[in-house]
Amino acid sequence: MRRRAAAVLAWVWRYVVAGAVLRVSRRRTIHRERELPASTRAETGTAALLFAAALAGLAFVAIYAFDDANTQLLGLSIAVSLALVAAALILAAARVVPQETLEEPRPDFSVDGPKSADIERFSAHQQEEVEAAALTLREGTDGVTRRGLLGAAGAAAGIGLGAAALVPLASLGPAVGGRLAASPWKDGVALVEENGIAVKAEDLEVGSFLTAFAKGADKEQLATSLAVVRVAPDELELPADRADWAPEGILAFSKICTHAQCAVSLFRYPLFAERSPGPALVCPCHYSTFNVLDGGERIFGPAVRPLPQLPLRIEDGVLVAAGPLSGAVGASWGRVREEG
Ligand code: FES
């Protein structure tokens, strides 16, 4: 009996404490001071800054379209546009929208009591915060007299900046498609120098380097340029399936580096082989180095694939392709790496 009375008393005590906590939390007051700037000059200034930001954004579009995408001017125009928007927002925050100072007592969660009381008190606090936020939104434009002008200026700035953000998408251009993989090299295509004259085997001395192209091909095509070198035939260490690819020690490789597509334009041909590394093609960009003796394998640098080699033969004294390149030309990305 005594135990039951104690349980009833504890139950009543919990409700008394919960009620007290709820009452205290509802009685919390928020001290609020409000000031309406009502400055038409500040509103006009904000609108002017936003319109200027719109013009700077549109200037970006015009520079992109008509000034060959001058990158300095593009950067300047977008920076000016963003700076003007920032200035407009700072001015609006300081001189246009209502200024409020709120002092809210921090909720006291340290009160011991029943769990349900804590929850109720917290719910009441949340409800107050929601109502305060709704009030802030409703009163956010109090004192602003030129709402139409500011709205139009904000929309103009949004359009200007939006256009500046979208226009560069045009630079993505058409898909590359199979152009990277296209190659003019096949059996019988003659090698020519830049002036179109056929490359004669006798013009190449041991240790020399020459840039050659596919006869009749577009020189802009990635695969057309070759680095042609000559070594002593007894130095060659080509794989068995390439044994006849280098007549009289003349070798041809794609001139496009397999790292990042710089032109491989240096040929190292040591004259004192005992103390020097062997003959190699070197890319001047990041010094990827390719051993010409074993078919263009990479021996140094960031490239991960060998230089594609072109099989050669000599017909009537001039160099001619004896087949296609041994691999995909160009940097080792995407399909090039898989197929290389
Ligand atoms: S592009 Fe040749 S080493 Fe980087």
Task: Tell me: do 96 and 210 sit in the same domain.
Answer: no
- ipTM for this prediction: 0.99
Confidence of residue 340 (pLDDT cuts 50, 70, 90): very low
Task: Tell me: do 188 and 285 sit in the same domain.
Answer: yes
Rounded to the nearest angstrom, the distance between the alpha carbon of 289 and the centre of ligand 1 is 9
CATH code of the domain in which 320 resides:
2.102.10.10
Output phi, psi for 250, to 5 deg: -95, 125
Q: Is the CB of 301 under 6 A from ligand 1?
A: yes
Residue of 259, 265, 332 best suited for mutating to test ligand 1, as the one with most atoms within 8 Å of CB:
259
* Nearest alpha carbon, ligand 1 atom 4: 286
Asked, for residue 2, whether it belongs to a domain, the answer is no
Task: Tell me: do 197 and 313 sit in the same domain.
Answer: yes
Rounded to the nearest angstrom, the distance between the alpha carbon of 282 and the centre of ligand 1 is 9
What are the beta bridge partners of residue 256?
Answer: 263
278 or 68, greater pLDDT: 278
CA 26 to chain centre: 53
What are the beta bridge partners of residue 84?
Answer: none
* pLDDT for 114 beyond 80: no
Asked, for residue 31, whether it belongs to a domain, the answer is yes
Q: Is the CB of 266 under 6 A from ligand 1?
A: no
Rounded to the nearest angstrom, the distance between the alpha carbon of 326 and the centre of ligand 1 is 19
Task: Tell me: do 137 and 200 sit in the same domain.
Answer: no
Average pLDDT, stretch 166-193? 85
Average pLDDT, stretch 294-298? 95
Q: Is the CB of 302 under 6 A from ligand 1?
A: yes
Nearest to 85 by CA among 46, 42, 47, 50: 50
Q: What is the pLDDT of residue 289?
A: 95
* pLDDT for 33 beyond 80: no
Asked, for residue 45, whether it belongs to a domain, the answer is yes
Task: Tell me: do 157 and 213 sit in the same domain.
Answer: no
Please state the atom number of ligand 1 nearest to the C-alpha of residue 264.
2
Q: What is the pLDDT of residue 23?
A: 56
Rounded to the nearest angstrom, the distance between the alpha carbon of 253 and the centre of ligand 1 is 15
Rounded to the nearest angstrom, the distance between the alpha carbon of 219 and the centre of ligand 1 is 20
Task: Tell me: do 114 and 44 sit in the same domain.
Answer: yes
Task: Tell me: do 138 and 205 sit in the same domain.
Answer: no
Please state the atom number of ligand 1 nearest to the C-alpha of residue 303.
3
Percent of the chain beyond pLDDT 70? 76
Q: Is the CB of 303 under 6 A from ligand 1?
A: yes
* pLDDT for 168 beyond 80: yes
Count Cα atoms within 13 angstroms, Cβ side, for 106: 4
Q: What is the pLDDT of residue 162?
A: 93
Average pLDDT, stretch 36-47? 82
pLDDT tens column, 238-283:
999 999 999 999 999 999 999 999 999 999 988 776 677 789 999 9
Average pLDDT, stretch 35-48? 82
Please state the atom number of ligand 1 nearest to the C-alpha of residue 262.
1
Q: What distances in angstroms separate CA 147 from CA 137, 151, 152, one per listed residue? A: 15, 6, 9
Asked, for residue 174, whether it belongs to a domain, the answer is no
**CA–CA distance, 97 with 74 (Å, rounded to integer):** 33
Task: Tell me: do 253 and 287 sit in the same domain.
Answer: yes
Q: Is the CB of 257 under 6 A from ligand 1?
A: yes
Asked, for residue 175, whether it belongs to a domain, the answer is no
Q: What is the pLDDT of residue 339?
A: 47
Q: Is the dihedral of CA 19, 21, 22, 26 positive or negative?
A: positive
**CA–CA distance, 189 with 195 (Å, rounded to integer):** 16
* pLDDT for 17 beyond 50: yes
Query: Highest mean pLDDT range out of 117-121, 287-291, 329-333?
Result: 287-291
Q: What is the pLDDT of residue 134?
A: 74
Q: What is the pLDDT of residue 98?
A: 77
Query: Highest mean pLDDT range out of 30-39, 92-101, 141-150?
Result: 92-101
What are the beta bridge partners of residue 212?
Answer: 226
Asked, for residue 106, whether it belongs to a domain, the answer is yes
Q: Which residues span the domain enclosing 83?
A: 13-169
Q: Among all chains, which residue has been given the structure tokens 């099989």?
A: 311
Please state the atom number of ligand 1 nearest to the C-alpha of residue 302.
3
* pLDDT for 177 beyond 70: no
Task: Tell me: do 123 and 219 sit in the same domain.
Answer: no
Q: Is the CB of 340 under 6 A from ligand 1?
A: no
Q: Is the CB of 260 under 6 A from ligand 1?
A: yes
122 or 329, greater pLDDT: 329
Residue of 256, 258, 286, 300 best suited for mutating to test ligand 1, as the one with most atoms within 8 Å of CB:
286
